[in-house]
């Protein structure tokens, strides 16, 4: 179980606090919301600034489906992984990796100099796209992709490790077929 996390219903990555009108919630309330699929955001709280503000390494949105955002030291999204619920298990559907000029600035996604996106489906079809800083995209389609590594069991409340494992959903190149 990961103990250095905070829970909220809506997270603001720019302020590193709950969105206006939302607040931190207790682990008991978070567990209830998770069990009832009411929507929850789990924020890594293992690292903090000198003023005590969390500088999360990752944020997980749990809304029946899951979105995991792995963050740079500056707070920009380095990798986003969308997990869809398919037949009671999680399927790594879309993975986007963002490359910026530096890792110390809170860039927005559109600042990325390179964006690598892998989209995969349980039937073995997939696509890989690369968008460079000029905005030009190159897309490749795949059939018969091995899908074993795209599945994950739905985690029990508090067991966020498999979801935020930085090696899951890596979009370092096209899917292997």
Domains identified in the chain, total number: 1
| 85, part of any domain | yes
What's the pTM?
0.88
| 171, part of any domain | no
Q: Which residues contact 33 (CB under 8 A, 6 or more apart)?
A: 7, 9, 25, 39, 40
| 154, part of any domain | yes
| 37, part of any domain | yes
| 169, part of any domain | no
Residue 129 burial (CB count, 10 A): 17
pLDDT tens string 142-162: 999 998 889 999 999 999 999
pLDDT tens string 11-62: 988 888 899 999 999 999 999 999 999 999 999 998 888 888 788 999 999 9
| Dihedral (CA of 162, 40, 22, 1) sign | negative
| 176, part of any domain | no
User: DSSP letter at 20?
Assistant: T
| 173, part of any domain | no
Helices (H), the chain: 27-35, 161-164
| 174, part of any domain | no
Q: Which domain holds residue 100?
A: 5-164
């Amino acid at each position: 179980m990961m103990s250095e996390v905070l829970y909220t219903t809506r997270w603001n990555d720019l302020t590193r606090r709950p969105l206006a009108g939302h607040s931190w919630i207790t682990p008991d309330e978070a567990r209830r919301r998770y069990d009832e699929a009411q929507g929850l955001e789990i924020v890594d709280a293992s690292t903090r600034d000198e003023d005590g503000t969390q500088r999360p390494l990752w944020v997980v949105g749990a809304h029946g489906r899951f979105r995991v955002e792995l963050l740079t030291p500056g707070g920009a999204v380095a990798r986003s992984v969308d997990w869809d619920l398919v037949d009671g298990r999680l399927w790594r559907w879309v993975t986007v990796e963002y490359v910026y000029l530096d890792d110390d600035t809170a860039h927005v996604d559109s600042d990325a100099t390179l964006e690598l996106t892998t989209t995969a489906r349980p039937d073995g079809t997939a696509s890989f796209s690369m968008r460079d800083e000029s905005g030009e995209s190159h897309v490749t389609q795949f059939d018969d992709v091995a899908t074993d590594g795209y599945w994950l069991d739905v985690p029990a409340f508090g067991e966020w490790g498999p979801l935020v494992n930085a090696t899951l959903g890596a979009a370092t190149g096209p899917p292997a077929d």
